[in-house]
Structure 1
């Protein structure tokens, strides 16, 4: 039997190890990226490193835009705005009770060109929504109660629904927010400096500083490592435990078989000597030749005379059968013991 618990733990350990290794590599890569203290220096660095591609840097500044979005509910001005609307309702389940549930009605996102500004220069950020570490601020969370008509409410009730209302959530990246961006810096033909996702390398847009990002990745790498070691140790323990039980079970079966065959050989010898050369036959009409002895495999003294239901095996006497809950041969659960009689 395959020890699925142990195998699952070992596979989980391998997955955690890979996650920890990935986090550790990202931390090492972040340590090696070029740090730009002032955005005005980035253009000069690009000219000096124009032969090195990709040129991955980390910059910091405040979010700005020439055409910011005015949020409808929160009144904030932002460069990325996500709006969601969820319909909340009660539904009648099969048990006859009402349970609360929700369904997404609307999900939309708006983004305008934006850049980081530190007072010395500006650098545009492209594709920030796909970057790691980006967290939008919840600008507004409004619940509008359902105002449906009596007819519509009655129809919903007959269908097993009670409309509660609509929950609208507005998430925004406000202007003026300090951010740290790690990515590939490029300069287009008109001299505009942008930072974007590199073909290979990290891409972060975060409220944390570069040092905080490195420390956070290192912490997660250590936690993943410790968790993988724990899962691996527990998985190997489960596999070793089941393997030990299997070996001991096979050893016990071999010892029982050996004892039964030895007892059968001795009994066959004594029966042969007592019958003066006459052949003796067992209960099934087969000659006793030491291969299929009809004695109890438990006590090795009495003849077996009990049939286990439902597996149908017959290998124990009535006395030993009364103490068993599973068949000694196939381990099936015994529901009934039927005594047999010789004719």
Structure 2
């Protein structure tokens, strides 16, 4: 790890631990909430998956219930019956192969792999450009670019071609029963098979030398991949199934993490149960950690606030004492000077007698010493030793 990366890591760690870890605690709390939401969704999907019937294509019509005896003539093109969540197991086949014997069936609507020649219904071609980065003689440019922005150049390009396809029962041919796979709106992972994988090096050019000199990214290889969903592959379709024009059709369900998969129902249940358990314990761990860190941060900041409040109170008391002592100091300075011995304060013997004690009435102290006597735990007159309540300043007319 370079010194610049270490500085970034140190900055992020200091930010996460600021306010005695409150930022880190809030981040963990957010992650815990997200994990709980995912756990709830995964638990619901697991419950639906366990209750869904698993059938072959030939047995699919037995689990579909149709509302009404027959459709009206105006609704003959619409789907009928209510949607049922099912798991259908069958072989992949092009839809044109089961539509009937017509002139279209002489040339089946299928895709052919460019490199392997396999017949398929889905072909995904991906090209990934692999870049190398040398800091060069001006390495700070790459570090600055890594912090401020990502490279705007596309590193990966992908193309996906599909044709309408169905699932059939492999034991019956020609296919009497089949289910149409509706791919509209599906964003689930597809069980594609890799048939071509090759890494081709890219020859360097004079421009590449300039890119490397100034620390810019430059291409070194091109990874070309081709994945297909071949005809005849045994897969499971998990989704909502309904009848459309009397033909079963299945579409993906956004609440489930599977649509087309090679796994059986038991394998999907085991996989989803394991993921649900991981999310459950992760939510507990993240929630406990966030509560502990936030509790520690709250206690520390609460104690700091009380200390700050105590210091503020002490400062205010000191300021109030200084405000009281300031006029006393001015008065004491006025009382200094040539004072006859009979009028000197009996305590300090420096200033003139100006304050009389209540209730005894003795005029024997200056105002500063009288205030000092009043602040004692049990104030008493220095002459008669009688308890006093306060003192009164005496002014000459």
Same-fold call, TM cutoff 0.5: yes
Distance between the aligned counterparts of 1:163 and 1:199, measured in 2? 38
CA-CA distance at 1:106 after TM superposition: 4.0
Contact 2:238 2:258 in 1 (8 A): yes
1:21-40 aligned at under 5 Å gives the runs: 21-36=40-55, 38-40=56-58
- Relative to structure 1, the CA distance from residue 265 to residue 127 in structure 2 (aligned partners, 3 Å threshold; closer, same or farther) is closer
Contact 2:45 2:255 in 1 (8 A): no
Higher mean C-alpha displacement, 44-53 vs 243-252: 44-53
Matched, 1:83 2:125: yes
Matched, 1:210 2:268: no
Matched, 1:171 2:254: no
Partner of 1:335: none
Contact 1:39 1:123 in 2 (8 A): yes
Contact 1:86 1:166 in 2 (8 A): yes
CA-CA distance at 1:154 after TM superposition: 2.6
CA-CA distance at 1:227 after TM superposition: 0.9
Partner of 2:164: 113
Match of 1:239 among 294, 297, 306: 294
Distance between the aligned counterparts of 2:280 and 2:254, measured in 1? 28
Q: Deviations over 1:73-102 (max 9, x none)?
A: 233332211001233344565654799x98
Contact 1:128 1:134 in 2 (8 A): no
- TM-score between the two structures when normalised by the length of structure 1: 0.66
**SS of match in other structure, 2:191:** coil
Distance between the aligned counterparts of 1:202 and 1:147, measured in 2? 42
Partner of 1:328: none
Distance between the aligned counterparts of 1:123 and 1:22, measured in 2? 28
Distance between the aligned counterparts of 2:126 and 2:34, measured in 1? 33
User: Structure 2: any 5+ residue segments left out of the alignment?
Assistant: 1-18, 69-79, 98-108, 143-150, 335-367, 369-397
Distance between the aligned counterparts of 2:219 and 2:36, measured in 1? 47
Match of 1:42 among 57, 60, 78: 60
Distance between the aligned counterparts of 2:184 and 2:260, measured in 1? 7
Match of 2:85 among 56, 64, 70: 56
Q: Deviations over 1:138-171 (max 9, x none)?
A: 22111233368xxxx2344345575534221111
- Relative to structure 1, the CA distance from residue 21 to residue 279 in structure 2 (aligned partners, 3 Å threshold; closer, same or farther) is farther
- Relative to structure 1, the CA distance from residue 47 to residue 53 in structure 2 (aligned partners, 3 Å threshold; closer, same or farther) is closer
Partner of 1:68: 110
Q: Deviations over 1:210-234 (max 9, x none)?
A: 1221222222122112111111111
Match of 1:17 among 33, 36, 40: 36
Distance between the aligned counterparts of 2:257 and 2:87, measured in 1? 10
1:86-101 aligned at under 5 Å gives the runs: 86-90=128-132, 93=135, 95-96=137-138
**SS of match in other structure, 1:135:** coil
Matched, 1:278 2:332: yes
Contact 2:81 2:242 in 1 (8 A): no
Count of matched residue positions in the alignment of Structure 1 and Structure 2: 273
CA-CA distance at 1:267 after TM superposition: 9.6
Distance between the aligned counterparts of 2:306 and 2:43, measured in 1? 47
- TM-score between the two structures when normalised by the length of structure 2: 0.58
Q: Answer with 1 or 2: which has the greater Rg.
A: 2
- Relative to structure 1, the CA distance from residue 234 to residue 165 in structure 2 (aligned partners, 3 Å threshold; closer, same or farther) is closer
